Structures are given as C-alpha cells and as structure tokens.
Chain A
C-alpha cells in the first residue's frame, strides 16, 4: 500500500513536470522566431533584448519614407536582376533597437503561392541590398525602443522585380 502511494505520487509528479515543461515551451516560443546561427548570421549584430523581440506591426517599426523609399533606393537592383520564374521573395529579419538589421531569413513562393526556389545569386543580391538600407526606425512601446522582426516582400513578375512592400 505504502509503495503504491509512493509510485502514484511519483507518477503524478513526473506527469505534472512533463506537462509544465511542455506548456512553458509552448508559451515562450512563437512562430517565426529567429535565433542566432553562427554559420549564417553576422556575429557583430546583436538584439538589444534577446528575450523580447516583438513584431514590427505591434510597435510601429518602419522605414523612413516607407516602402516607397525602399523601392526608390533599390531601383538599381529592381532594374538589373532577371528571374526565370514569377512569385514572391520574402525576407524576414530583425531591426534592433539601434536601427541596425540582421538575422536575415528568406522564404520564396511561386505565383500559386507554393514553395519554390529562385536563382541563389539573385537572392544573395537582394539580401545585400536590404543590408545596405540605412533608414530603419525601430518602433517603441511606452517610450522604450524595442527590437522587432520586419517582413519585406519582393514581387517578381515577367522575370523582373515589379514591387517591394
């Protein structure tokens, strides 16, 4: 009887522990979180608060002059790159509280919104162009400037980039 009680207590403890760890993981991880990867990320770029990187739309992170200004600055890129497929190239990256960018990740889809691949040299050129943009303005909450994830889409149609937003 004593042994049975101890086994029950131990089982209930481990079950509760496993569920607590599961709930903790599930409530602290978000879709699209980007952690530092030493193989691809610039080690000089740091988030100001690693535990609190929010979404751009929650705090108003933006680019001076908006995406219209980005389009103007990247006009050279728009005119020079040629593609074989249509679709969307979407970059997601961190704008830190010092208005610097890093941790670039890319997703691509074709015009049917199914995953595809675009020419890797073009993808590299696009990332370099985003890295060259200097007008980022990190958003704030209650006067505190925060890190956030930003999403930038490149629309490819008729072998060319036709829009950036």
Chain B
C-alpha cells in the first residue's frame, strides 16, 4: 500500500511538473514564429498581449510583434498605445509596416495628411513598384486621402492613375464612384454621371452610383431621371459599400436615399 501511494505521488509530481513545463514552454521557450501565431490568434486577450511582451523582450528587433500588438489597442480606440507600437514597427522595418500605418491613419482616424505622408514615403522606398497597403491600391488610397481633404482635382488624378495601373476591369469599383462624387462636388454634373456609369459597367448593383446619378440628374433639372435612379439606389441598398469597423468616406444610408426620394416626389 505504501509503495502504491509512493507511486501515485511520483506520477502526480511528474504530471504536475510536465503541465507547468508545457505552459512555460508555450509562453517563453517555443520557436518565436509559433508563439507569434498563437498570440495573433488570441488577439485582444491579455494572454496574447503578454506573449507579445515576452517576444519583444526576447527579440526586440522583431518588427511584426510591435505591429501585431498594436492591433488590439487601435481597434479599441487606444491610439496613443497603438501608434507608439506601430511607430516602432515602422522604425524597424519601414517597407513592411508603413503601408499599414498609413491605411490605419486613413481608415481609422481620417488623418489624411499623415496617411498621405506614410503612403508617399512607402512609394519612394519602392521605386517602379505599385504598392498595395493592406491589400488596396496605393493610388486608390491616396485618392481617398485627397477626397477626405476635399481636394477633388488631386483626388481625380489619383483615382484615374489607380484605374490605369489596375486596368479598367480590375480596378476598385469605388474608384469610379469616387470620381463621380468628385465631379459632382466640382459641379460637373454630366461628367459625374459619366463616371458613375463607368462603375455600373462593372456591376449593376452599385447603389452609390445610382444615388450619385439621382443627385446629378436633380441638379441638371432632369427630375424623372433622378426619380428613376433613386428607386434603383433604394432597390440595391443591400449591396452598399460598408465595413464592420468603420464608416467609409463615401458610405450611403437608406435614410438619405428615402429623404431624397421624398424631395423628388414633392417636385
């Protein structure tokens, strides 16, 4: 009996130590790439942030860790902490992280000047290469920055450059939509309709184009055409451009479509 108790104690001791060793191995000793993946997949939890802290302590030059650790902070609006980390990532490896930092400044903060500065710096680091920060064409993003700054002529140049580089059939459909809105803002209503039509050539389900056309036709005094297009905008609203994180600069809502529809019906 005594031997049995002794065996149980030994086995239990070994198992408990193995459990502890496994936890220590996973958090401190496993290959850095494996630990990075694990922390990446548990984004937002303290465990993930602590694992990133350990990685930073062990590998202070590992730029991806600073970048990945910043994500949870920026998603929660803690920009001072988030951008301090992102700045460090850019300092260590500008080519890899400048695009994302610019993209974040544009989409998360509408900080157009600083986003442009990051995109321009990235562009200068990669001559003869069309960058695509966070998967989007750099000129499309620069176009959005100028659009946000209400510098519509410059935005037009960049959206057109994006379309030229990406080729008409491959460009982001919203390059055409933005071109339409820019022309509308510049009071070139016929030109604006032409640009919205270019978007509709790529797909028939673009409520932003129909909405923009309705507004342009209204300005041109062609109320019946405006009514026709506002109905199409309403019908296609479920295809609108949206994002679960942030409102887009050219995002439209059913409420504003219905408002314009009401105004047009009263004419």
Size category, B interface? 35 or more
Q: Does B42 contact A (CB under 8 A)?
A: yes
| Interface check B37, CB cutoff 8 A | no
Which chain B residues (1-60) contact chain A, with CB distance < 8 Å?
Answer: 6, 9-10, 12-13, 16-17, 19-20, 23-24, 42, 44-47, 49-50
Nearest B residue to A5 via CB reads B9
Which chain A residues border B45 with CB–CB below 8 Å?
26-27, 29-31
CB-CB under 8 A from A19, the residues of chain B are 19-20, 23-24
The smallest C-beta distance from B207 to any residue of chain A, in angstroms, reads 14
Q: A88, B78: Cβ atoms under 8 Å?
A: no
Q: Which of B24, B76, B111, B244 has the most CB of A within 10 A?
A: B76
**B245 on interface, CB distance cutoff 8 Å:** yes
Report whether A31 and B47 are in contact in the complex, using a CB–CB cutoff of 8 Å: no
Can you name the residue of chain B whose Cβ is closest to the Cβ of A162? B110
On chain B, the residues within 8 Å of A68 by CB distance are 247, 251, 253, 256
Nearest B-chain residue to A105, judged by Cβ: B77
Chain A 68-87 interface mask (CB, 8 Å, partner B; 1/0): 11000000000000000000
CB < 8 Å A-B pair total: 119
| Closest chain B residue to A27, Cβ basis | B47
Interface residues on A, range: 35 or more
B200 at the interface (CB under 8 A from A): no
Whether B77 pairs with A31 at a CB distance below 8 angstroms is: no
Q: Quick one: given A107-B80, A155-B110, A163-B110, are A31 and B251 in contact (CB under 8 Å)?
A: no
Contact of A107 among B47, B79, B244, B253 (CB under 8 A): B79
**Chain B positions within 8 Å of A31 at CB level:** 44-46, 49, 72-73, 76, 78
Q: How far is the CA of A64 from the CA of B13 in the complex (A)?
A: 59
List B residues 71-94 near A (Cβ within 8 Å). 72-73, 75-80, 83
Q: List 24 A-B contacts (CB under 8 A).
A: A9-B9, A9-B16, A12-B13, A12-B16, A16-B17, A19-B23, A23-B47, A26-B47, A27-B42, A27-B47, A30-B45, A30-B46, A31-B45, A55-B44, A57-B244, A57-B245, A64-B255, A65-B256, A68-B247, A91-B77, A107-B78, A111-B111, A113-B109, A153-B110
